[in-house]
Amino acid sequence: MTGMPDLGVRRGRGRPPHLTRFLLLLAAILLCHAQPPDIVLTGTFSGSDNHTYREVPFKVPAGTGRITIELSYSGRDQRTVIDLGLFDPERFRGWGGGKQGAVSLSETDATPSYLPGPIRAGRWKLLLGVPNIRPGVRSDFTAKIYFERSGAAPAVSTFSSAPLRAGPAWYRGDLHLHTGHSDGSCISQSGQTVPCPAFKIVSAAADRHLDFIAVTDHNSTSHYGALRELQPYFDRLLIIPGREITTFEGHANVFGTTEFIDFRAGSASVPTMNDVFRQVEKLHALISVNHPNDPTGEECMGCRWLAANADLSRVQAVEAVNGGNAEGPLAGIPFWEAQLNRGIHLTGIGGSDTHNPDDKSRAGVGYPTTVVQAAELSERRILEGIRAGNVFIDVEGRPDRLLEMTAASVGATVEMGGTLKAPMGATIHVSVHATQLNGAITEVIQDGRTVSPLSEPAIKAADFRQSFDMAADGGRHWIRVNIRNREGRLLIVGNPIYW
Ligand SMILES: [Zn+2]
Ligand SMILES: [Zn+2]
């Protein structure tokens, strides 16, 4: 180890003067970090440091779940190169060499070149190598280090520090996919059925031009490492960390955390499903009941939702459409509507539950697609959009179909997922906007029953608007729409507006 000339360690939370605070904030915004760095390590290399290594220690506080490091340095124009590696208190954690970009490590996933594993409190060390610095050249380096507390939701996305696309839009995705990290399989080079690598399913979703996916292997957390590696390559397809909590009394997808969730509902460690929900709440993640009406037994173990005393007001969504089961005995819509009738506001979503990325049938990736109105294409905003409920399910997963619905009463207007205050006798004016559904039929459902407020329910143009009025009776109600083709097949499943 060489000497440590003018090595400065500044605590990022040490009340800097206003200007410094402003510059830190500006830099943080530019880097898409919601917080300034927790530690800034600085130092200088000179020509005499050529072909040397330097260890730069820093302290990781207890309770840290993720470390992110950004290294920058001057002198690149004079061909200075500084390599980066890392040791935790016990072992070597990686060597990225001169690769550019931020490094992120957690228990479950790490930037390629680095090892996932426990983020132990204590003395960690950056390892800086100098493969080239010219005689007489001085290069200053800055390493910004961010600590994310265990259980914190990511400011933007788990696998990307910036949104993949800016601005509000309807974003399309598949929220239920499996890889070889659970029981997803595909055909190998020699024709064998093998555990399918994550790359294949993500690639299949990209081929379907989806905006986002959640990979939801059963109870596992091992796929997050693979997904972190894939996100920079798939820079138009947001990858959301998901997991199918798979219990003996039901399945539920959890989105937006990479931390372990004890799935053993009914065991001594997790007595009831509500104890699963409690863990999800602590992790600020989103949970959705999957295929609640599937059969259960030796064909599909624990597949039907049987968790008798589960408090579904602690759940945010339900998989109203799983794969090709939009209707029929396995459909999830009746379960969903029964919860809505109990006054529980759940967003209806869809997921293909694909276990084979090569399946190009109507059971493959993107059938159905969940379409979410979100402020930008990031994990945080997509999950916020699902919570808010301005969402519809496109059963056939087309790239251009759209359903928008608003309801207005007493001066207020809400979209799907919203709640209106409508006193007895008030008129509720409902507007429906559908695109690329010419010739289809709008079906209006109030409190689980089909009603006929539209004198002419047919959609008569590729861009079509319909409206109708309902009368409030002072009671609690919800309304949503389906769109069916002329043969009655379900094409679009809308989410409710409540009053
Ligand atoms: Zn399942
Ligand atoms: Zn599944």
Report pLDDT for 77.
97
Q: Is 432:481 a contact under the CB 8 Å cutoff?
A: yes
- Gap from CA of 303 to ligand 1 centroid (Å): 6
Rounded to an integer, what distance in angstroms lies between the CA atom of residue 365 and that of residue 213? 10
- Gap from CA of 487 to ligand 1 centroid (Å): 30
- Gap from CA of 197 to ligand 1 centroid (Å): 19
- Gap from CA of 189 to ligand 2 centroid (Å): 25
Structure tokens at 160: 């990307």
Report pLDDT for 100.
87
Angle of helix 198-207 relative to helix 223-230, nearest 10 degrees, comes to 50
Report pLDDT for 299.
82
Report pLDDT for 69.
98
Ligand closest to 214 (CA) is 2
The mean per-residue pLDDT over the stretch 238-245 comes to 98
Report the mean per-residue pLDDT for the chain.
93
Q: What pTM did the predictor assign?
A: 0.92
- Gap from CA of 436 to ligand 2 centroid (Å): 30
- Gap from CA of 478 to ligand 2 centroid (Å): 29
Write the CA distances from 77 to 71, 131, 137, 138, 201, integer angstroms: 16, 15, 11, 12, 41
Q: Tell me if the domain spanning 401-499 has CATH number 3.40.50.
A: no
Report pLDDT for 34.
58
Helix (H) or strand (E) holding 67: strand 64-73
- Gap from CA of 291 to ligand 1 centroid (Å): 7
Q: Which of 185, 193, 484 has the alpha carbon at shortest distance from 354?
A: 185
Q: In what order do the strands lie in the sheet containing 64-73? A: 8-11, 39-46, 138-149, 64-73, 103-106
Ligand closest to 294 (CA) is 1
- Gap from CA of 178 to ligand 2 centroid (Å): 6
Q: Tell me if the domain spanning 8-149 has CATH number 2.60.120.380.
A: yes
Q: Going by DSSP bridges, is the β-strand pair 250-255/286-289 parallel, antiparallel, or unpaired?
A: antiparallel
- Gap from CA of 317 to ligand 1 centroid (Å): 15
Report pLDDT for 179.
98
The mean per-residue pLDDT over the stretch 423-441 comes to 97
Rounded to an integer, what distance in angstroms lies between the CA atom of residue 32 and that of residue 207? 28
Rounded to an integer, what distance in angstroms lies between the CA atom of residue 27 and that of residue 37? 10
Rounded to an integer, what distance in angstroms lies between the CA atom of residue 464 and that of residue 180? 43
Structure tokens at 109: 């996933």
Homologous superfamily in CATH for domain 153-399: Metal-dependent hydrolases (3.20.20.140)
- Gap from CA of 245 to ligand 1 centroid (Å): 8
Report pLDDT for 19.
45
Ligand closest to 323 (CA) is 2
Ligand closest to 246 (CA) is 1
3-state helix, strand, coil in the chain (%, to 5): 15, 40, 45
- Kindly tell me if the per-residue pLDDT of 385 is higher than 60: yes
Helix (H) or strand (E) holding 337: helix 333-341
Q: Which of 295, 389, 308, 306 has the alpha carbon at shortest distance from 344?
A: 389
Task: Please report the DSSP string for 291-317 in residue order.
Answer: -TTS--SSSSTT-S---TT--GGG--E
Rounded to an integer, what distance in angstroms lies between the CA atom of residue 22 and that of residue 101? 23
Collapsed DSSP state (helix, strand, coil) of residue 50:
coil
Burial 49-68 (b: 16+ CB within 10 A, else e): beeeebebebebeeebbbbb
Banded model confidence at residue 360, pLDDT cuts 50, 70, 90: confident
Q: Is 428:468 a contact under the CB 8 Å cutoff?
A: no
Report pLDDT for 31.
45
- Kindly tell me if the per-residue pLDDT of 288 is higher than 60: yes
Domain boundaries, the chain: 8-149, 153-399, 401-499
Q: What percent of the chain has pLDDT above 70?
A: 93
Q: Is 253:213 a contact under the CB 8 Å cutoff?
A: no
- Gap from CA of 357 to ligand 2 centroid (Å): 13
Q: Which of 29, 59, 28 has the alpha carbon at shortest distance from 126?
A: 59
- Gap from CA of 279 to ligand 1 centroid (Å): 19
- Kindly tell me if the per-residue pLDDT of 29 is higher than 70: no
- Gap from CA of 151 to ligand 2 centroid (Å): 24
The mean per-residue pLDDT over the stretch 316-327 comes to 96
- Kindly tell me if the per-residue pLDDT of 420 is higher than 60: yes
Q: Going by DSSP bridges, is the β-strand pair 193-195/81-87 parallel, antiparallel, or unpaired?
A: unpaired
- Gap from CA of 246 to ligand 1 centroid (Å): 7
Banded model confidence at residue 32, pLDDT cuts 50, 70, 90: very low
- Gap from CA of 207 to ligand 2 centroid (Å): 21
**DSSP code for 48:** G
- Gap from CA of 360 to ligand 1 centroid (Å): 20
Q: Quick: pLDDT tens for 449-460.
A: 999 999 999 999
- Gap from CA of 301 to ligand 2 centroid (Å): 11
The mean per-residue pLDDT over the stretch 431-457 comes to 97
Banded model confidence at residue 475, pLDDT cuts 50, 70, 90: very high
Strand partners, 41: 9, 143
Task: Please report the DSSP string for 347-392 in residue order.
Answer: EEEEE--BS-TT--STTSTTSSEEEEEESSBSHHHHHHHHHHT-EE
Cα 364-370-376 angle, rounded to 5 deg: 125
The mean per-residue pLDDT over the stretch 101-121 comes to 97
Ligand closest to 178 (CA) is 2
Ligand closest to 351 (CA) is 2
Write the CA distances from 470 to 340, 447, 495, integer angstroms: 19, 13, 17
Q: Which of 200-204, 326-330, 465-469 has the lowest mean pLDDT?
A: 326-330
Q: Quick: pLDDT tens for 165-208.
A: 999 999 999 999 999 999 999 999 999 999 999 999 999 999 99
- Gap from CA of 216 to ligand 1 centroid (Å): 9
Cβ burial of 383 (10 Å; 0-12, 13-18, 19+) is buried
| Tokens 């929900």 -> residue | 277
- Gap from CA of 334 to ligand 2 centroid (Å): 20
Ligand closest to 304 (CA) is 1
- Gap from CA of 289 to ligand 1 centroid (Å): 9
Helix (H) or strand (E) holding 40: strand 39-46
- Gap from CA of 356 to ligand 1 centroid (Å): 14
Rounded to an integer, what distance in angstroms lies between the CA atom of residue 368 and that of residue 397? 5
Banded model confidence at residue 298, pLDDT cuts 50, 70, 90: confident
- Kindly tell me if the per-residue pLDDT of 263 is higher than 50: yes
